[in-house]
Amino acid sequence: MIHSILYRAVAISFFIGLTTASSADYAKPRMIVTTDLGADPDDDQSLVRLLVSANEFDIEGLVVSTGCWRKTQSSTEMLDKIVEAYGECFDNLNVHAEGFPTPDYLRSISVMGQLGYGMSDVGDGKDSPGSDMIIASADKDDPRPIWIGGWGGTNNVAQAIWKVRETRSKDDLEKFLAKLRVYDILGQDDAGAWIAKNFPQVFYIRATKVYGWQPPKNGDYQKNDIQSHGPLGAVYPDTKWATEGDSPAFMHIYPNGLNDPDQIDQGGWGGRFSFEKKTSIKSMSGVKNEERKFDPYEMWGNTSDGTEAIKRWSNGYNNDFAARMDWSVTNEYSDANHHPVAVLNGDTTRKVKQISVEAGASVSLNAMGTKDPDNDRVSYSWSIYQEPSTYKGDVAIKNASSESAEISVPIDATKKAIHVILEVYDDGRPVLYSYRRMILNVR
Contact partners, residue 370, CB within 8 Å, separation at least 6: 340, 341, 342, 343, 378, 380, 403, 424
Residue 18 has pLDDT above 70, yes or no: no
Residue 101 pLDDT class (50, 70, 90 cuts):
very high
Cα–Cα dist 372/426, whole Å: 7
Mean of all residue pLDDT scores within the chain: 94
In the chain, the amino acid numbered 437 is: R
This prediction has a pTM of 0.93
Is 2-327 CATH 3.90.245.10?
yes
- For 87-111, give one letter per residue: b (16+ CB within 10 A) or e: bebbebbbebbeebbebeebbebbb
Distance set, CA 59 to CA 54, 55, 154, 156, 213 (Å): 7, 9, 18, 16, 24
Q: Are 197 and 161 in contact (CB under 8 A)?
A: no
Cα–Cα dist 385/417, whole Å: 11
What are the start-end ranges of the H helices in 308-402?
Answer: 308-311, 314-327
Distance set, CA 270 to CA 64, 120, 246, 314, 442 (Å): 22, 30, 10, 11, 28
Residue 259 has pLDDT above 60, yes or no: yes
What pLDDT is attached to residue 26? 66
Of residues 189, 182, 339, 196, the one with CA closest to residue 252: 182
The secondary structure element, H or E, covering residue 35 is strand 30-35
Phi, psi of 423 (to 5 degrees): -105, 125
**DSSP string covering 218-276:** TSHIIIIIIITSHHHHHTSPPPSSSTTTTTHHHHTT--SSS--TTSTTS-BTTB-B-SS
Between 295 and 4, residue with greater pLDDT:
295
- For 263-277, give one letter per residue: b (16+ CB within 10 A) or e: bbbbbbbbbbbeeeb
Phi, psi of 60 (to 5 degrees): -110, 0
Is the peptide bond prior to 430 cis by the omega test (within 30 degrees of 0)? yes
Taking phi over 0 as left and psi of -120 to 50 as alpha, with beta for the rest, 17 belongs to left
3-state helix vs strand vs coil in the chain, percent to 5: 30, 20, 50
Cα–Cα dist 343/340, whole Å: 10
Cα–Cα dist 97/56, whole Å: 9
Beta pairing, strands 362-366 & 404-408: antiparallel
What pLDDT is attached to residue 27? 82
What pLDDT is attached to residue 3? 39
Whether the domain at 2-327 and the domain at 340-442 fall into the same CATH topology: no
pLDDT digits (tens, 9 = 90+) for 317-354: 999 999 999 999 999 999 999 999 999 999 999 999 99
Just give the CATH number of 340-442.
Answer: 2.60.40.10
What pLDDT is attached to residue 21? 33
Give the start-to-end residue ranges of the domains of the chain. Answer: 2-327, 340-442
**DSSP bridge pairs for 182:** 148, 204
Average of per-residue pLDDT across 86-93: 98
pLDDT digits (tens, 9 = 90+) for 122-142: 999 999 999 999 999 999 999
Q: Are 193 and 121 in contact (CB under 8 A)?
A: no
pLDDT digits (tens, 9 = 90+) for 378-410: 999 999 999 999 999 999 999 999 999 999 999
Contact partners, residue 382, CB within 8 Å, separation at least 6: 365, 397, 399, 400, 401, 405, 407, 420, 421, 422, 423
Residue 23 has pLDDT above 70, yes or no: no
In the chain, the amino acid numbered 131 is: S
**DSSP string covering 145-181:** -EEEEESS--HHHHHHHHHHHHHS-HHHHHHHHHTEE
Q: Are 195 and 162 in contact (CB under 8 A)?
A: no
Q: Are 363 and 384 in contact (CB under 8 A)?
A: no
Average of per-residue pLDDT across 267-278: 98
